Chain A
């Protein structure tokens, strides 16, 4: 289902409920992840992180000897691994606190096993992208490490704006990314009034990635809403 590189990533699961740890571990193992360890307390989590050197941590917020936000800060003193919060605290304030701390994602219980696997995969791919293979599209490949499009023997450079737009689309591959999200990716916060510029950039990206830019198949328009990038998976 996914690369051996991903399968071998070391994952630490931290939750005060042993039953939930067992279930999450079984879901991840079933999905192909092989290196998983679990911890039920902050102390245990810190010890395992130092010895096991996980490449991603899934943290609960409510733990018997403190909270997950404190654990996050402790981990940050000696490692910068990506972190996903998985918690029953679903208020906006909790979610924002977790993301503001620097967590890579925030999931609220209850959750579907499939969703947990997808989010973990997404974080790992994003975080360890230098090792990620080239992104395969219908008419070309994207080399995000070099910010280039490989079209046959031709290598086409991406501008900073084009790179950011493609990144935003790739992070949400197969999903609609709204015009506003793409403008934000390219021009930062409050990107109002850039819709025409975005259309121009999309046209230029299509010229680089599509075989026939007039009939795009990889970067398609969803009328009135935004754009969707379809990645080829062999």
Chain B
């Protein structure tokens, strides 16, 4: 909703600036047009000039040719009223019939302000008389009572600002009233758009100004929801399929392992046959571990693995995994050295005990897989800022730079849509990464200082 507030502020700002600009523009235009009007010779000026251009000669009054032509072009007529007799002493040729030939003082006052028989009239005085110009009836409109109060003129700046303020307030009010409805319509739409990426269910009202847009957003949300459901359904189906296969394969594999185990120790068989039976048994154990890993990895990948969170001691978990590992190594080919930097109580985190134990066991098992001749494994637990770091490092065959880079930067085939032509690492380390991820932790692979392989798991406290 921060965006909405910003949008409203921006709109109000633009509106205010626009109002000022329009008013300024109007003032400029008004001034420009007025000046043009002033520059143009108006009817009053023409009347004054006509009065000056009328000359008294022996046989009467004569108007200059130039002025005659100008009046003709304006379709105007003119009369000259004598000051003493108040009678028309001269007039142009085209004088309307209805124009009187003599006037009273009040009629002269009237024609000066306004009209003679509907013709707008303008006057220009001389020493002897008054020149009156009459224009066609539809040429000018005259304001009959042009008078201004001095107080009004004195207060013009204040009045102007007051009117300006009222104008701005009125425009703002109109804007707010007309846009309230728009804002009411747009607010739920903006909220819905903000919610869209989270995948939440959205159902906004499809009424008001933006009903069409609201309908489209509802439709989009429904499509996204349907896609998510379908994706989830597919993930569930895939995980369930793996789980189902791993379940169904267990009983037949039990038979293979059981009978192979019996044959491997059957004294009636030859040494070679017993060895072969033992190989079947060992390979069956590998298949068993593989299906267990596959099942767990798919459940972790699709968030179907129950996460039993509790306060756990990382030291206890590491010790248990190490003990289980040594207990499963009756030949004693692997030696574990455990280094705990502080009081074991310091290393308490919230997490799933079984998953964390599985992660540590997988790392130990990884050392065993790559060092079948045996090796020494060092486990180190340290606290750093707000996290616990478990380092498992062996002195075995180690890892090449090339493989290390692939391990760090290439995703596992289980979560990759590219081809699987290139061999990738097994499920064991993937499970370690997944378990660290569900604990909001990270895993870092490196070459160990003893030439072997080193893995660090960082779990936040």
Contact = CB atoms under 8 A, between A and B. Distances in A.
Q: Is B one of A's binding partners?
A: yes
Interface of A: 17, 19-20, 23-24, 26-27, 30, 88-90, 92-93, 108-114, 175-181, 192-193, 195, 222-226
A195 B344 contact: yes
Interface stretch (B35-43, B66-74, B229-237, B319-327): B319-327
Contact of A225 (B248, B259, B326): B326
A10 to B, nearest CB: 21
Contacts of B348: 192
Contact of B251 (A20, A114, A179): A20
A226 B316 CA distance: 10
Contacts of B327: 175-176
A90 B250 contact: yes
Contacts of B285: 112
B250 to A, nearest CB: 4
Q: Which DSSP category, helix, strand, loop or mixed, fits chain A's interface? A: mixed
B256 interface: yes
B158 interface: no
A3 B339 CA distance: 43
Contact of A110 (B250, B262, B295, B339): B250
A88 B247 contact: yes
A227 B326 CA distance: 12
A176 B253 contact: no
Contacts of A178: 316, 319-320, 323
Contacts of B326: 176, 222, 225
Interface string B302-340: 000010100001011001101100110000000011111
Given A175-B327, A181-B320, A23 B247 contact: no
A122 to B, nearest CB: 14
Interface centre among A17, A20, A109, A111 (most CB of B within 10 A): A109
Interface in B345-386: 345, 348, 354
A88 B291 CA distance: 12
B406 to A, nearest CB: 31
A30 B320 CA distance: 33
A110 B306 contact: no
Interface residues of B, number: 40
A64 B269 CA distance: 37
Q: Which one of B246, B254, B322 has the greatest number of beta carbons of chain A within 10 Å?
A: B254
Contact of B319 (A88, A175, A180, A192): A180
B292 interface: yes
Contacts of A24: 258
A93 B247 contact: no
Output the residue of A111, A112, A175, A177 with the most chain B CB within 10 A. Answer: A112
B284 interface: yes
B376 to A, nearest CB: 13
B261 interface: yes
A176 to B, nearest CB: 4
Interface in B53-103: none
Given A19-B255, A26-B262, A89 B316 contact: no
A193 B316 CA distance: 12
B262 A111 contact: no
Interface string B211-247: 0000000000000000000000000000000000011
Nearest to B266: A30
Contacts of A113: 257-258, 261-262
B21 to A, nearest CB: 72
A58 B16 CA distance: 86
Contacts of A176: 323, 326-327
